[in-house]
Structure 1
Amino acid sequence: MTGAALAALLIPVQFAPALASGPGGVPASFALPGGAAPTYGAAAEIVSYVDLVHRSYEEAYDKAVAMKSAIGALLDKPSEGNLAAAREAWIAAHVAYSRTEAFRFYEGPIDFARNAKGDEGPEGRLNAWPLNEAFIDYVKGNPKAGIVNDLSIPITVKSIRERDQVSDEADVTTGFHAVEFLLWGQDLSAKGPGERPASDYASGDPVRERRRLYLSTVTEMIADDLLWLTAQWDVRNANVYAKNFLAYDQRDALGRILTGMATLGAVELATERMSVALDSGDQEDEPSCFSDTTHLVYRADQQSISNVYFGEFGDWKGAGLQSLVARVDPELDKLVAAQIRKTSEAVAAIPAPVDHILASPKGSKERATMEKAIAELEAQSTLLVEVGKRLGVAVNIAPE
């Protein structure tokens, strides 16, 4: 859908009350206090952003459906070939989801489904990490570990959700990393990812039947959550978050956009997913440790930031944030655009697999590559905060 067509759809809309809110249900404001109304107009960029978010979640959902199909083929005929195909489908789906992560951190539906009721959005169900493998299935030294091996626990959506991160945040039962573990198993090799055999999914044995059901159930849950997120950003639907977003004051909307980008870069990616892992030196602190695909997530996260700024998504081209910044402050736009490209190059230069970097000694070339990416991500977020100041909006970067 083009930006013009999307805008045309909005003319007759009666907006629903905002879903996102601060304490006491009062809508949180991202406009700097005391500022005059902006002299710039950002309607085209905000409409285009909503279009980009919808397209991104739609792709993530489509890839999740393809993953579901590949896993179904594995369960129909457990073979090493079908297991390899299911793994490739998981990688594609997880990368597609990672390209949506710049849409987090500002009280949108991914983080707060119905904030007035205190409900969290599906992010924790989709991508929670770290994950205690033994809470789900067998591990080295404990062949009877986990829900899969506990015959007293029914394998249902309800039972899986009820046990998710109850006593410990690492006791994750749902999401991409749960499926990753179920497809690859523990990563016990210094030379490659996990090596779970396809025979783990052969039918007939009670425990294997439970493992089969667990994998299919959790995969279905991922697709369901992504379908809901896609619908929330589709303005053709009634009473969805996209319409609330378009009803915000322009500075509120821009503050949310910039907060998502800057927080993903400086906090989630540079700190949580890179610096913490480097500091520990533990290979298992690699987020996608079972499949050794963390480097792909790093690139996809940075791509999500770049997509928002430049208004790009595959063959689609919209009115990115850059078009607004270039009108308001051309010199600042040059700095930001150059920094985003520089950061993207630095992130792409991180060698794979990441667990080898974590295990390398301090001062190694591998560590220096990741440390450079961290520095560029932080510089990028600093400039995005400056963009916020120039536009009169608050960019709220804070630890999760």
Structure 2
Amino acid sequence: MLRQTALTCLLTSIVALPLSVQANAEKNQAPSLKAIVGHYADIAYANYSDALQTAQTLQKAINQLTKKPNEETLKQAKQAWLQARIPYQQTEVFRFGNKIVDDWEGQVNAWPLDEGLIDYVDSERYEYELGNSGASANIIANKQIKVGSKTINATNITPELLASLNELGGSEANVATGYHAIEFLLWGQDLHGTQAGAGERKATDFMPGKQCTNQHCDRRVAYLKAASELLVNDLTDMVTQWAPKKSDNYRHELLSDSPKQGLRKMFYGMGSLALGELAGERMKVALEANSTEDEHDCFSDNTHNSHYYNAQGIYNIFFGKYQRIDGSTVTGPSVADLVKAKQPKTAQQIEKLFNTTQSSMQTLIDKAEKGMAFDQMIAANNKEGHTIIGNAIQSLVAQTEGIEKAAKVIGINNLNPDNADHAF
């Protein structure tokens, strides 16, 4: 530290507060609503940029797999897919409250999907949505697809064709694009049910000529390349929507609105992802039905990580911190700072709720790494697994109550986060 003269020290002691008091005052000073919403947009831009970068890495790995298909290049493509999920799952907190993201998300991350729409399945162990006329269309095996009275020319598998086939025949289970379509193509159908094991697709499914297994390898390659291209294009578009210094994108629209309205979107997004989507659709449904078909990353058995990073995304927004894939951290004014400045004790209570959720999600990770994946946890006779998931659900419910309390402290009432019609 720089040394001060005796006179300077004397004057400082007379006219200024002690340094510790100054630091505390600055720390507890309430940030402006405008600054918080601006930082929210900064995190979105950084987070989607990371999702795009990892998707581009995935596309490169897929291109290498299709050029030189073998077990090693398939393994590398799978690893790239797993890495791509880390930043993307954290972006889902932006989906709720921001209509532009919610409208876009279906082409990127829709699930569960009836995989028979895309490729071959074991018909004796294939569960699909009842009444779905596209559940066994098998785009890869058929250049002409007939669903009801409609016949579709699928000779050339392109990003445009795949995008047009989403919700084919009016069924939401007909998902032809996004992370989960790519996941299925890399891993294949998971035939292990609630026992240990994920999909076991072989690299020979992508090999040319007589080495090809399960036929139509050239079309499987074309599908995988088209799906990864579309994913990169979609993420590029979303990065553009959150980019700074633009007057014609969603970020500009958000920041041009009242800061309080922006803050309401932030709170609604956090609460809705935690309650209706993560606790409800992604955990409660699968647990109560003991259904692997309702598992989020069902082909790869990566569900524990997807759930963890969804919760991390909520944490990021509340506390205004996001760790980028290069290890750097984006920090700035946060909701937590504002609540702490207004009601320190309430802020402390809410932080404990978030920490409990983080701990319960870490338990999912720890158990999966020791051999009990999410699809094993939901097995009807797995009491330990049910308890682990139940604790995670309850922590998310309590955390959502804390989010609503924080909103009220700031003056946002009647938040009503989406519970997706689930009772908790």
Q: TM-score, normalised by structure 2?
A: 0.80
Partner of 2:71: 80
CA contact (8 A) 1:45 1:323 kept: no
Question: Which range is displaced more, 85-94 or 139-148?
Answer: 139-148
Does 1:325 find its partner at 2:339?
A: yes
CA contact (8 A) 1:109 1:229 kept: no
1:330-370 superposed Cα distances (whole Å, 9 cap, x missing partner): 122111111111111011112321000111426x0111011
Partner of 1:157: 159
1:36-59 superposed Cα distances (whole Å, 9 cap, x missing partner): xxx983222111111111100000
Shift of 1:285: 2.0
Partner of 1:188: 191
Q: 2:226 aligns with which of 188, 208, 217?
A: 217
Q: 2:104 aligns with which of 110, 122, 126?
A: 122
CA contact (8 A) 1:100 1:304 kept: yes
Does 1:171 find its partner at 2:185?
A: no
What is the alpha-carbon distance in structure 2 between the residues aligned to residue 269 and residue 64 of structure 1? 23
CA contact (8 A) 2:190 2:199 kept: yes
Which secondary structure state, in structure 1, belongs to the residue aligned with residue 197 of structure 2? coil
What is the alpha-carbon distance in structure 1 between the residues aligned to residue 397 and residue 34 of structure 2? 29
Structure 1 residue ranges (4+ consecutive) displaced by more than 4 angstroms after TM superposition:
142-145
Question: Which range is displaced more, 147-156 or 52-61?
Answer: 147-156
Does 1:348 find its partner at 2:339?
A: no
Letter in 1 for 2:78: R
Partner of 2:138: 146
CA contact (8 A) 1:108 1:241 kept: no
CA contact (8 A) 2:51 2:87 kept: yes
What is the alpha-carbon distance in structure 2 between the residues aligned to residue 80 and residue 322 of structure 1? 47
What is the alpha-carbon distance in structure 2 between the residues aligned to residue 73 and residue 128 of structure 1? 26
Letter in 2 for 1:355: D
Partner of 1:15: none
Unaligned runs of 5+ in 2: 1-29, 127-135, 145-153, 324-328
CA contact (8 A) 1:139 1:145 kept: no
Percent identity (aligned): 33
Partner of 1:6: none
Partner of 1:29: none
Report the number of matched residues: 352
What does 1:197-216 correspond to in 2, within 5 Å? 197-204=202-209, 207-216=216-225
Which secondary structure state, in structure 2, belongs to the residue aligned with residue 97 of structure 1? helix
What is the alpha-carbon distance in structure 1 between the residues aligned to residue 66 and residue 185 of structure 2? 12
Q: 2:350 aligns with which of 327, 336, 344?
A: 336
Does 1:389 find its partner at 2:392?
A: no
What is the alpha-carbon distance in structure 1 between the residues aligned to residue 33 and residue 291 of structure 2? 45
CA contact (8 A) 2:275 2:400 kept: yes
What is the alpha-carbon distance in structure 2 between the residues aligned to residue 126 and residue 325 of structure 1? 34
Letter in 1 for 2:340: A
Question: Which range is displaced more, 388-397 or 122-131?
Answer: 388-397
CA contact (8 A) 1:40 1:328 kept: no
Shift of 1:157: 2.1
Unaligned runs of 5+ in 1: 1-38, 112-120
Question: Which range is displaced more, 385-394 or 268-277?
Answer: 385-394
1:215-260 superposed Cα distances (whole Å, 9 cap, x missing partner): 0101111111111111111122330111111112121011000000
Shift of 1:104: 1.3
RMSD over equivalenced CA pairs, Å:
1.8
> Larger radius of gyration, structure 1 or 2?
2
Letter in 2 for 1:193: A
Letter in 2 for 1:225: D
Letter in 1 for 2:379: A
| C-alpha distance 145-198 of structure 1, shift in aligned 2 (>3 A) | farther
